[in-house]
Structure 1
Amino acid sequence: MFFTFIIFLLIVDYSFEQKCNRERIHTWNAEQRLICDLLDNYQVKWGRPVRNMTEGVEVRFGLQLIHISDLDEKNQVLITNQWQIYEWDDEALTWDPEDYDDLVDIRLPIKRIWQPDVTLYNYADTRLEEKREVLATVYHNGTVFWKPMSIFKSTCQIDIRRFPYDSQKCSMKFGSWTYDSSKVNLRFYRDIQKFDLNSYVKSNEWSIVGNSASRNTEKYDCCPEIYVDLKFHIQLERRGGFYNYILILPCVLLSCLTCILFWLPPESPSKLVLGMNIFTSFFVLLLLLYKNMPSNAEHIPRIGAYYCLNMGMIATSTFLCTIVVHIYFRGAGPMPTILRRVFLEFLAPFFCMVPHTNTYQQHAVNGLMPPIKATCDGDKFEKFELLKERFKSFGDKRQISSTHDDTLEVLDMMNDHSQQQQHHHHHHFQQNQEPSLTQQIQQQISASITFMTVETDLKEIRDFLRTTRKRMEDKEAKTKTVNDWKQVALVLDRTFFFIYFIAIIVSLAVMFPR
Structure 2
Amino acid sequence: MNTSLAFDIFCVAFIFTAGMLSGANAAQGKYAQLLFNELFQDYSNALRPVEDTDTVLNVTLQITLSQIKDMDERNQILTAYLWIRQTWYDAYLKWDKDQYDGLDSIRIPSNLIVSFSSFFRADDDFSEPVNTNIVLRYDGKITWDAPAITKSSCVVDVSYFPFDSQQCNLTFGSWTYNGNQVDIFNSLDSGDLSDFIEDVEWEIHGMPAIKNVITYGCCSEPYPDVTFTLILKRKSSFYIFNLLLPCLLISFLAPLGFYLPADSGEKVSLGVTVLLALTVFQLMVAESMPPSENVPLIGKYYIATMTMITASTALTIIIMNIHYCGSGAKPVPQWARVVILDYMSKIFFVYDVGENCTSSQRAKEQDSYLKKPNACPKGPGQYEGARQPLAKIRNHESTLKKKFPEGVNNGYGLQGENTRDIVSCCSCYRILIKNIEYIASCVRRHKANHAKGVEWKKVAKVMDRFFMWIFFIMVFFMSVLVIGKAH
TM-score, normalised via structure 2 length: 0.77
For the structure 1 residues 28 and 357, does the alpha-carbon distance in structure 2 shift closer, same or farther, using more than 3 Å as the test?
closer
For the structure 1 residues 118 and 492, does the alpha-carbon distance in structure 2 shift closer, same or farther, using more than 3 Å as the test?
farther
Structure 1 residue 131: Cα displacement? 1.8
- In the alignment, what sits opposite 2:37? 36
For the structure 1 residues 474 and 118, does the alpha-carbon distance in structure 2 shift closer, same or farther, using more than 3 Å as the test?
farther
- In the alignment, what sits opposite 1:49? 49
Question: How far apart, in 2, do the equivalents of 1:76 and 1:440 lie?
Answer: 123
Cα deviation per residue 1:417-441 (whole Å; 9 max; x = unaligned)?
A: xxxxxxxxxxxxxxxxxxxx99993
Structure 1 residue 173: Cα displacement? 1.3
Question: How far apart, in 2, do the equivalents of 1:137 and 1:216 lie?
Answer: 28
Q: Secondary structure at the match of 1:497?
A: helix
- Does the 8 Å CA contact 1:120/1:172 hold for their aligned counterparts? no
Selected match of 1:144 from 131, 142, 145: 142
Q: Does 1:102 align with 2:73?
A: no
Structure 1 residue 307: Cα displacement? 2.1
- In the alignment, what sits opposite 2:323? 328
- In the alignment, what sits opposite 1:354? 351
For the structure 1 residues 53 and 439, does the alpha-carbon distance in structure 2 shift closer, same or farther, using more than 3 Å as the test?
closer
Q: Secondary structure at the match of 2:149?
A: strand
Larger Rg: 1
Question: How far apart, in 2, do the equivalents of 1:511 and 1:457 lie?
Answer: 80
Deviates most, 64-73 or 28-37: 28-37
Structure 1 residue 115: Cα displacement? 3.3
4+ aligned runs moved over 6 Å, structure 1: 437-440
Cα deviation per residue 1:317-349 (whole Å; 9 max; x = unaligned)?
A: 233322222222234222334433443234322
Deviates most, 349-358 or 102-111: 349-358
Q: Does 1:84 align with 2:84?
A: yes
Question: How far apart, in 2, do the equivalents of 1:474 and 1:460 lie?
Answer: 21
- In the alignment, what sits opposite 2:252? 256
Question: How far apart, in 1, do the equivalents of 2:143 and 2:337 lie?
Answer: 87
Q: Secondary structure at the match of 1:322?
A: helix
Structure 1 residue 104: Cα displacement? 0.9
For the structure 1 residues 460 and 35, does the alpha-carbon distance in structure 2 shift closer, same or farther, using more than 3 Å as the test?
same
- Residues 47-196 of structure 1: pairs in structure 2 closer than 5 A: 47-115=47-115, 117-123=118-124, 125=125, 129-189=127-187, 192-196=188-192
Q: Secondary structure at the match of 1:506?
A: helix
Structure 1 residue 87: Cα displacement? 0.7
User: Which residue identity does 1:114 align to in structure 2?
Assistant: V
Selected match of 2:464 from 486, 493, 500: 493
- Does the 8 Å CA contact 2:320/2:460 hold for their aligned counterparts? yes
Q: Does 1:293 align with 2:289?
A: yes
Structure 1 residue 480: Cα displacement? 1.7
User: Which residue identity does 1:115 align to in structure 2?
Assistant: S
Selected match of 1:307 from 288, 291, 302: 302
Structure 1 residue 267: Cα displacement? 1.1
Structure 2: gaps of 5 or more residues: 1-26, 364-385, 387-392
Q: Secondary structure at the match of 2:208?
A: strand
TM-score, normalised via structure 1 length: 0.73
Q: Does 1:201 align with 2:197?
A: yes
Selected match of 2:239 from 239, 243, 246: 243
Question: How far apart, in 1, do the equivalents of 2:355 and 2:54 lie?
Answer: 106
Cα deviation per residue 1:188-207 (whole Å; 9 max; x = unaligned)?
A: 12xx1111011111111111
Question: How far apart, in 2, do the equivalents of 1:249 and 1:455 lie?
Answer: 81
Question: How many pairs are equivalent?
Answer: 416
Question: How far apart, in 1, do the equivalents of 2:225 and 2:58 lie?
Answer: 13
Structure 1: gaps of 5 or more residues: 1-25, 367-383, 385-390, 402-436
- In the alignment, what sits opposite 1:379? none
- Does the 8 Å CA contact 1:130/1:152 hold for their aligned counterparts? no
Structure 1 residue 223: Cα displacement? 1.4
User: Which residue identity does 1:505 align to in structure 2?
Assistant: F
- Does the 8 Å CA contact 2:268/2:313 hold for their aligned counterparts? yes
Q: Secondary structure at the match of 1:114?
A: coil
For the structure 1 residues 438 and 65, does the alpha-carbon distance in structure 2 shift closer, same or farther, using more than 3 Å as the test?
closer
Cα deviation per residue 1:168-201 (whole Å; 9 max; x = unaligned)?
A: 1211111111222222121112xx1111011111
- Does the 8 Å CA contact 1:118/1:174 hold for their aligned counterparts? no
Q: Does 1:511 align with 2:486?
A: no
- In the alignment, what sits opposite 2:266? 270
Structure 1 residue 272: Cα displacement? 2.6
User: Which residue identity does 1:165 align to in structure 2?
Assistant: F
Question: How far apart, in 2, do the equivalents of 1:354 and 1:108 lie?
Answer: 92
- Does the 8 Å CA contact 1:348/1:355 hold for their aligned counterparts? no
Deviates most, 316-325 or 481-490: 316-325
Question: How far apart, in 1, do the equivalents of 2:289 and 2:100 lie?
Answer: 61
Question: How far apart, in 2, do the equivalents of 1:350 and 1:120 lie?
Answer: 72
- Does the 8 Å CA contact 2:162/2:297 hold for their aligned counterparts? no
For the structure 1 residues 256 and 38, does the alpha-carbon distance in structure 2 shift closer, same or farther, using more than 3 Å as the test?
same
For the structure 1 residues 453 and 120, does the alpha-carbon distance in structure 2 shift closer, same or farther, using more than 3 Å as the test?
farther
Question: How far apart, in 1, do the equivalents of 2:253 and 2:284 lie?
Answer: 20
Q: Secondary structure at the match of 1:151?
A: strand
Question: How far apart, in 2, do the equivalents of 1:28 and 1:348 lie?
Answer: 100
Cα deviation per residue 1:447-485 (whole Å; 9 max; x = unaligned)?
A: 543453454444444444443343233222211221121
Question: How far apart, in 1, do the equivalents of 2:476 and 2:409 lie?
Answer: 99
- Does the 8 Å CA contact 2:410/2:416 hold for their aligned counterparts? no
- Does the 8 Å CA contact 2:409/2:416 hold for their aligned counterparts? no
Question: How far apart, in 2, do the equivalents of 1:355 and 1:272 lie?
Answer: 23
Cα deviation per residue 1:373-431 (whole Å; 9 max; x = unaligned)?
A: xxxxxxxxxxx9xxxxxx9xx9xxx9xx9xxxxxxxxxxxxxxxxxxxxxxxxxxxxxx
Structure 1 residue 35: Cα displacement? 1.3
Q: Does 1:316 align with 2:311?
A: yes
Question: How far apart, in 2, do the equivalents of 1:438 and 1:36 lie?
Answer: 164
Q: Does 1:343 align with 2:340?
A: yes
- Does the 8 Å CA contact 2:28/2:101 hold for their aligned counterparts? no
- Does the 8 Å CA contact 2:255/2:467 hold for their aligned counterparts? no
- Does the 8 Å CA contact 1:267/1:328 hold for their aligned counterparts? no
Cα deviation per residue 1:254-296 (whole Å; 9 max; x = unaligned)?
A: 22333332211111123333332222222222222222212x2
For the structure 1 residues 29 and 451, does the alpha-carbon distance in structure 2 shift closer, same or farther, using more than 3 Å as the test?
same
